[in-house]
Amino acid sequence: MKAIWHSTDVSLEQLNEMGAGTMAETLGMEFTEIGPDYLRIMMPVDQRTVQPYGLLHGGASVALAETVGSVGSGLIIDPAKYICVGMEINANHIRGVKSGYVHALAKPLHIGSTSHVWEIRITDDEHKLVCASRLTVAILAKR
């Protein structure tokens, strides 16, 4: 399969360095795999990412989904000509998680010239579905 990325020489180390000083770093997100048409990222379920009942906060799941999808779009576009911004996200929270890590797999459903749509599946350490999300990203010309 041909890679969908604008540049194929991006490393996990570079992706993780991009998150320095951002929400991704604050919540402990870490990119774990770059495939030809997908990205994987993980996030700990700990005091930074849970709600008062001790369960993974839905907002943390949404932040994880938006991060992996937005970075995916950023890898597809020509950064000299375009920027990408989240336009809409939804999430169905299916299962609670109290510890360990959650793992997000992002795959594009649509790659257009003005928008990208991503499907993001978040699972727990046992590969059980925790959250199903869809992200729409707008592709804008640089000014």
3-class secondary structure for the chain? CCCCCCCCCCCHHHHHHHCCCCHHHHCCCEEEEECCCCEEEEEECCCCCECCCCCECHHHHHHHHHHHHHHHHHHHCCCCCEEEEEEEEEEEECCCCCCCEEEEEEEEEEECCCEEEEEEEEECCCCCEEEEEEEEEEEEECC
- Please pick, among 17, 66, 88, 119, the residue that the annotation labels catalytic: 66
Active site residue 33: no
Show which residues are catalytic: 66
